[in-house]
A and B are shown apart, each in its own frame.
Chain A
Amino acid sequence: MGYDNPTSISNGVSTGFNDTHSGGTDSGARTVDKVFSSEANLDERTQGLLSRTAAEFRVAECKPVVGKGLNKSLLVRAREILESFDANNFVESSVDIESLRGIVAHLWESATNSTQFHQQILATLESAILTIELPNKEQLSLFREAVIDLGHDLLTQAQVDIIQRQFISRGFSPLALLGDTEDSDGSV
């Protein structure tokens, strides 16, 4: 099953060797390249880029932060719940949402070892999970995305920005939790 199509090579750049079978009666002189895929043709522009030193491309604002990360077993459990979430079963989905709320609350215990980026994503996720009753498919996949991101030991500002943008675009306001608080005049 697996060998109908073996692990292929991304950019078509082969090991550079040919088979040595030569002078035989069959066409055995096939190259390793042909076995896998066609040779990558770098255009002049790309070759020009490659000839420059890597340091020239260094981007100053790329500052990923590595931390210990959050509690991995809780994240695995959260992912399992999200992947088996059945929105059609109201009782089960309510239990699942409650479980997720519990997991997120417990994740804060390990958040002290993590980075500010982990904490920002966790806060966004928590805010969304606390305000929603029954998530739709899109929102579920967004929760899953956030949980997978939280599983990385290393996060960047870009990841935080992207996930926050996704939350907003799928109906979660960053200030949603404040919506139910009392105003200074006593009104809700």
Chain B
Amino acid sequence: MPKSSVKLVQNVFEARYERGYRYLDRCGDAMVILEEALPAISNNNVWMPEEMQPTGARIKCPDIDVTVAFDAYRLCVDHNPADVKCPFEAISKYVFDTVVAKFDIRKIIRLGNRQFYVIPTDSVEDADQLSVKKVQLKDWPKPESNDMNIRQCQVTTVFENSDRSIGTQLCVKPVSRVEAPLQVEKRLRTPPHLLATGQREALIGQLRRQKQREQDPVAGLMVDIDYNWVKPEEVTLETFFDKADKEIKYLTGLFQGK
């Protein structure tokens, strides 16, 4: 199985709040401000309002694949796919401050930063094998019948502090797209120079799979990390993102390398 590094595929910031009913009065104000101000934060990329309904509003920047959505209960900044680099934190902070000011938000119920990473593989089988390797459950639990082995592992772990105001959820599971091959033949993985014939084709095939893995993986092990604060007393997004970044970097570090 070729080695691959952890790749960020989606980044989400979400804030939930109480009594955001002013959304119905001032959605237009917020939208006008965001449409004008966000391009300056995001390298002059254009933002397009997509939807403004009593149930929610949405503005999107197609150039960097960031969508901002908000309603009377929450706001969400979604960077998906996270291929193009963007000032995600600055955008989130600007949107958050604007919504808090315009909708007169007094109480934040929850702040969350959820990041989805994938360790790319060439096939579904590789993804399953990687899940067994990375999720170290050892031999627990053992099946009753001896002719069965662990084929894949999915694990969700939740960490929380004592008063449950700060937490992290880590979920690891193999994922794949519909078009992902079930398995890659062993012969195709043989170094091309060791093949008796068709070395060139084999090399091209390997390079093609490597490029696919790096740019747009079809399968892999997903590491989904959700860092959050519940009912924070003081809301400073800089601190929140600093801590989220530290926690997420630490957890993804566990999946880097061998």
A residues near B (Cβ < 8 Å) are 1-3, 6-11, 13-22, 32, 46, 49-50, 54-55, 57-59, 62, 64, 66, 83, 141, 144-145, 148-149, 151-152, 154-159, 162
Contacts and interface: CB of A to CB of B under 8 A. Distances in A.
Interface string B2-14: 0000000110111
B101 A57 contact: no
Interface stretch (B74-82, B138-146, B195-203, B247-255): B74-82
Nearest to A61: B36
Contacts of A15: 9-10, 80-81, 116, 118, 175, 222
B122 interface: no
A22 to B, nearest CB: 8
Contacts of B9: 15, 17
B192 interface: no
Closest 6 CB pairs of A and B: A7-B112, A10-B76, A10-B69, A17-B175, A148-B101, A7-B114
Contacts of B86: none
A145 B114 CA distance: 28
Interface string B67-107: 11100001011101100000000000010010011101010
Nearest to A62: B36
Given A2-B230, A20-B127, 20 more contacts: A1-B164, A2-B160, A2-B164, A2-B169, A3-B158, A7-B13, A8-B74, A9-B76, A10-B14, A11-B60, A11-B67, A15-B9, A17-B118, A20-B152, A20-B176, A49-B48, A54-B45, A144-B104, A152-B97, A162-B29
A155 B94 CA distance: 10
Contacts, number: 157
A57 B35 CA distance: 11
* B interface, over-half SS: strand
A13 B40 CA distance: 25
A1 B101 contact: no
Contacts of B220: 17
Given A7-B113, A8-B14, A10-B78, A21 B177 contact: no
A19 B154 contact: yes
B27 interface: no
B242 interface: no
Contact of B35 (A10, A62, A83, A141): A62
A8 B78 CA distance: 10
Contacts of B174: 19-21
A144 B102 CA distance: 10
Contacts of B102: 145, 162
B46 interface: yes
A116 B177 CA distance: 51
Contact of B175 (A3, A6, A20, A157): A20
Interface in B221-251: 222, 226, 228-230
Contact of A145 (B12, B80, B104, B112): B104
Contacts of B104: 141, 144-145
Given A1-B230, A20-B127, A54-B46, A9 B36 contact: no
Interface in B25-84: 29, 32-33, 35-37, 39-41, 45-46, 48, 50, 58, 60, 62-63, 67-69, 74, 76-78, 80-81
